[in-house]
Structure 1
Amino acid sequence: MKAKTAIIYTRVSSDEQAREGYSLQYQEEQLRKYCTHRDITIIAHYKEDYSAKTFDRPEFNKLLSFCKKNQSEVDYLLFVNWSRFGRNAGDSYSIIKQLGKLDIEPQAIEQPLDLKVPENKMMLAFYLATPEVENDRRSLNVRSGLYRARKEGRWTTHAPVGYRNIRTEDGRAMIIPSDQAELVREAFREYATGTYGINELCKKLVAKGLKSGRSSFNELIRNKTYIGLVYVPAYKDELAYYTKGIHEPLISEKLFYQVQDLLEGRSPNRPTKNTGKEELPLRGFLECRQCGKNISGSASRGNGGRYFYYHCTCGCNERFKAHEANKMFLELLQSITPNPAVLEMNYEILMDEFTSKFKSAKQQTIKLDEDIKKNNQRIQNAQHLMLDAELSAKDYKEIKVKLEAENDLLLRRKSEVGNGEEDFKEYLRSGATILRDLDARYQNASLKYKQLIIGSVFPEKLIFEKNGFRTNRVNEAVQLICMNNSQLDQKKSGRAKNFLATSAQVEVR
């Protein structure tokens, strides 16, 4: 009589192994003992570390392929119990049929069934349904637990870049800043300057060690987790919303929303592409005088060296030497000479104005905090009314969603009001010093700060012409501070000229 043959199949997923003790080694030992005692020859062993929610598993697919190629050589497919075989009843029946067509009998050694006996199919249905019911119940419990945790402000999944997962003393999930935190802060600070584009800043920070790709970086600088909020997804009848997290914020709300404004296009003049080259600081701030498109810049080789030029991106003939343009721009900055009396008067006016505003800001912050607290109390009151059956669940839900949306707006307004009083005097004095020697500051600055100066003084693109620079708008505060007394009088009568009128010329080639 021909000896029977079998394929043995062992499967475990990490959570099952910890929970049920079905290690791959244990399963293999039991199956080999079973085959030894019954004189069954093992012709193949497939072991898998994969979920049994579906049969789309790498090793099981190889097993099926082997069975189809060697169907006359295989009598049994053996596994420890039916939960090792599958956890989806419908899919399991389908695979059993496929194996039956190949004359291969699937069998669980701890739950043996003679499938030729009709009554045993009832037990098979029970064995197959039990793991699926366990999966569904476990999934429901996990979802419910995760939802409760999120409502409590706890981060329950893999920590975002800049944080790492830990467990508190009572075993609860939490995130704390990681060694990537400072790079995340730098991402927000640098983007807020308006100097970098998304891809360029991502590339720069990845080179420094930030663990992020382009698409995930886009999500990173839009992620409210970094201001201490946790996203609570929609669940049953509850709508999605944000709640205050128990983790430490990495950045201020003010900085976060400043970045969001830039992302949404509410930004001052800044280069469309940062050059990364000291020889081309004006690239991205220039507009073609012929076609109105952006002026770019690049290097050309010739006469044994590299020479930089600014040129139109649209293919017209606008082209001029970068070093000459840069020199003339520096001369333009040298022509920006603040009127000391106007500068001092401006300083005093701003100090008076902002001192008053800071007092008002404190009052506004107190009022916003009171409004947020009041809305939270209203939500709690509505919840009590619902629990006492004096308010329907639908009405409670509408009230809750409305008040939480109001709180989100109030928090944003609070971040915009800010305080900043401590630093303002220093910023104001520093600004006055920069204006007094703007050309020297520009000349000694890094590329990033050169571009910040350009964008601050000239909110719109600069155009080079044979008779000098032209732009649609100059920062009006700078222009006023640079006027002498006679020009101030002319300003009142509408006859003043700005400092661009006497700027240097650039040779156009």
Structure 2
Amino acid sequence: MPTAILYIRVSTGAQAARGYSQRSQLDRLEKYCRDNNVKIYDTVYEDCSAKSFNRPEWKKLFSLLKTKKTGVDMLLFTSWDRFSRSIIDSYTMIEKLKALGVSVQTVDHPVDFNTVESKYRLAIHFAESEAENARLSERVKRGILKAKQEGKWIGKAPLGYQNRQTSNGMKYIALKEPEAKLLKKAFEEVAKNIFSVGDVYSQIVSEGLQCSRSNFFRLLKNPIYCGKIRISESDTGREYDIDGVHEPLISSVLFEKVQEVIEMRQRKTSKRKIICEELILRGFLSCPECGKSLTGSASKGRSKKYHYYHCHPGCHFRRRADEVNLQCVEFLKKLKANEPYAALVGMIQENIKTASDLKNEAERAQKASMVERFSDKMVNAHDLFVKGDIDYDDYLLIQSNCKRQIKTCVEEVQQLAVLSKTVPFQEVSCILDKLYDFYKEASIEVKREFISYILPEKTTLLEGGFDEMINEPTRIVFNIKSSNPKQGDEDNGAGSFQVMDEKYLAFIEDYFTEKKMAQPANVKNIVIFLKKITLLIIRG
């Protein structure tokens, strides 16, 4: 008498409704055993997909069969799709079971493995099962995509939200406290750009947020928190965001600001790996002996490392980096702008402030228009409800959506006011006379950018110091006398400005005409230089 293990598998409630329930399968398998005089060794129940054999109960069953002490010589299923839905995996597993002396058989479509025709029919059964699985997978993918395109979140709610369900069975996500409050605080702290993202994470975790560091960084980049659903189309590879139907945790303005801060910090982190502050002038200087670009490196002394700017192999020129850097610092300490140029910086600063105010005002006007539009929509919905054109549920839904949109617009306007605060504009002209103070507090990247504005490209390192090395605009603006005036005759990035504001040129021309003094020849480069310096100081 053959001995069999009955294997019963159901992966979804829908399959149970179609007659694949565990009770139904068990009844049919037991009847088969009675009719064919088969002894039942055990019954295994599985609640897992048949896409692969990576199933908990199947693993236990296969381990049991490998012991060869059970006396089992058959695995019995109701149909082949209960066994597997993969052609390759099915044949591989059948061979493994055959090596253990165990055969596989089904009630609905029994197969005689000794005949070619039965093997052919078995291949058809496996192909049909795999095709059905593929169709089901495709339907699920299309359903998920359609739901996302309607602004719905699919799956487990992200941190700060919870899965909810309406009385009529519609699923949605809602804010969950206290996680939502802590995450909102995290976004606000990162946007301020005072502490690093890692420091903000440590602070929020200490206040009770349960989240890993890697997941925290992913959350900061997830648009779900500003009311968006990200959609990725596998066919086209296109990725885009649409408005979700859930309540946003933060405004879009705050989310975009956080992305800017993260991107900026990532750029600084990558640069910091290759920029050494002790060799901050590396790349700007050229060798006074052979004319090649100077590089830099550190030499290990008895107690510490000493950094040098030096030429390439074949040329023996080198200079202590700390001495050259000190010359640069001492040069910055004595800089003081001439009268017309200090006043011109004030004009440039005021124009930048005006442009910034106009941009903010345009964005605020746009948000105000949106608030007015949603308010009108609420009024129209009320009128339609009174007339009986829409039912009460639709009326409440429209009112709720409009209120949420109005709240979001108001928060974004408030956020614009907070995030638009930068270095006080009235301090810029003062800093122009204290460039050393600005340089001392600046990051390495900003220091190097500032140096690129005052030095011409590939400046020859001269014994006379930086008075002999600066470009012509710097020399004129700060009235630096030099015995080597040709050192800075190059155009220091004039091409980066496509539009020249003629009123700046007119201001300088009027000043020198009134003073009856000779006007500098390269006024345009001077204006470009001052605009760059002013923008750099404001940006910090």
TM-score normalised over the length of structure 2: 0.52
User: What is the CA–CA distance in structure 1 between the aligned matches of 2:459 and 2:197, rounded to whole Å?
Assistant: 30
Q: Does 1:85 find its partner at 2:50?
A: no
| Structure 1 residue 472: Cα displacement | 9.9
> Does residue 492 in structure 1 map to residue 520 in structure 2?
yes
> Which amino acid is 2:278 matched to?
L
Mapping of 1:41-190 within 5 angstroms? 51-55=49-53, 74-78=72-76, 82-88=80-86, 92=90, 95-96=93-94, 104-107=102-105, 111=107, 114-116=110-112, 135-136=133-134, 138-156=136-154, 166-168=162-164, 170=166, 171-173=171-173
**What are the Cα deviations for residues 185-243 of structure 1, in whole angstroms up to 9, with x where unaligned?**
8888879xxxxxxxxx9999999998449xx98x9999877876544333789976443
CA distance in 2, matches of 1:205, 1:316: 49
- In the alignment, the residues of structure 2 paired with residue 361 and residue 455 of structure 1 have an alpha-carbon distance, to the nearest angstrom, of 27
- Structure 1 contact 9–79 (Cα < 8 Å) conserved: yes
CA contact (8 A) 1:147 1:235 kept: no
Q: In the alignment, is the contact (CA less than 8 A) between 2:253 and 2:416 conserved in 1? A: no
Deviates more, 1:327-336 or 1:348-357: 348-357
Whole-angstrom CA distance in 1 between matches of 2:439 and 2:72: 81
- 1:339-418 equivalences in 2 (<5 Å): 339=338, 342-352=341-351, 354-355=353-354, 358-359=357-358, 362=361
SS at match of 1:325: helix
Structural mapping, 1:429-468, within 5 Å: 429-443=426-440, 445=441, 449-459=443-453, 463=459, 465-467=461-463, 468=465
Partner of 1:328: 327
Instruction: Give the superposition deviation at 1:106.
Output: 1.7
Would you say the 8 A contact 2:349–2:428 is kept in 1?
no
**Counterpart code for 2:425:** L
* CA 452–190 in structure 1, closer or farther in 2 if over 3 Å, else same: farther
Report the Cα distance in structure 2 between the residues aligned to 1:261 and 1:497, rounded to whole angstroms.
29
1:276–1:94 Cα change, 3 Å = closer
Q: Is the 1:310–1:320 contact (alpha carbons within 8 Å) kept by the matching residues of 2?
A: yes
Q: Secondary structure at the match of 2:271?
A: coil
Which residue identity lines up with residue 520 of structure 2 in the other structure? Answer: K
1:304 aligned residue: 303
Q: Supply the AA of the counterpart residue of 2:452.
A: F
Matched ranges for 1:200-211 at <5 A = 211=213
Displacement of 1:149? 2.9
Gaps of 5+ in 1: 192-200, 371-414, 499-509
Structure with max Cα Rg: 2
The number of residue pairs the alignment matches comes to: 419
1:303, CA displacement in angstroms? Answer: 2.9
State whether structure 2 residue 478 is matched by structure 1 residue 482: yes
Which deviations, in whole Å up to 9, do the C-alpha atoms of 1:83-126 show, x marking residues without a partner? Answer: 54213467546755775687632246xx5765349999999899
Q: In the aligned structure 2, how far is the partner of 1:159 from the partner of 1:56?
A: 27
Q: Select the structure that is richer in helix.
A: 2
What is the deviation of 1:465?
A: 0.9
The structure whose RCO (Cα within 8 Å, separation 6+) is larger is 1
* Shift of residue 274, structure 1, vs aligned partner: 1.5
Secondary structure of 2:520's counterpart equals helix
Q: What CA distance in whole angstroms lies between the structure 1 residues aligned with 2:186 and 2:292?
A: 38
Instruction: Give yes or no for contact 1:206–1:212 (8 Å, CA) kept in 2.
Output: no
Instruction: Specify the alignment match of 1:409 in structure 2.
Output: none
Residue matched to 1:377? none
Alpha-carbon distance between aligned partners in 2 of 1:275 and 1:97, rounded to the nearest angstrom: 55
CA–CA separation in structure 1 for the residues paired with 2:237 and 2:302: 71
1:458 counterpart SS class:
helix
What is the deviation of 1:331?
Answer: 0.9
Q: Distance in 2 between the 1:159 and 1:479 partners? A: 61
What do residues 377-407 of structure 1 show as CA deviations (whole Å, max 9, x unaligned)?
A: xxxxxxxxxxxxxxxxxxxxxxxxxxxxxxx
Partner amino acid, structure 1, of 2:443? Y
TM superposition shift of 1:430: 3.4
**In structure 2, how many angstroms separate the alpha carbons of the residues matched to 1:461 and 1:189?**
35
Q: State the shift of 1:140 in Å.
A: 3.7
After the TM superposition, which of the residue ranges 146-155 and 119-128 deviates more from structure 2? 119-128
Query: In structure 1, what is the Cα distance between the partners aligned to 2:283 and 2:193?
Result: 18
Identity %: 24
SS where residue 115 of structure 1 aligns? Answer: coil
Contact 2:307 2:320 in 1 (8 A): yes
8 Å CA contact 1:167, 1:174 repeated in 2: yes
Distance 2:219 2:119 in 1: 53
Report the Cα distance in structure 1 between the residues aligned to 2:317 and 2:186, rounded to whole angstroms.
40
Name the SS of the counterpart of 1:77 in structure 2: strand
* Matched letter for residue 493 of structure 1: A
How many angstroms apart in 1 are the aligned matches of 2:317 and 2:61?
68
Q: How much does 1:439 deviate?
A: 1.6
Q: Is the 8 A contact 1:286 1:295 kept in 2?
A: no
Q: Point out where structure 2 has 5 or more consecutive residues left out of the alignment.
A: 206-211, 370-411, 481-510, 527-540
Task: Please say if residues 78 and 107 of structure 1, whose CA atoms lie closer than 8 Å, have aligned partners that are also in contact.
Answer: yes
> Residues 51 and 495 (structure 1 numbering): CA distance in 2 closer, same or farther, change over 3 Å?
closer
Q: Residues 9-20 of structure 1: matches in 2 within 5 Å?
A: 16=12
Distance 1:212 1:98, change over 3 A: closer
SS in 1 for 2:75: strand
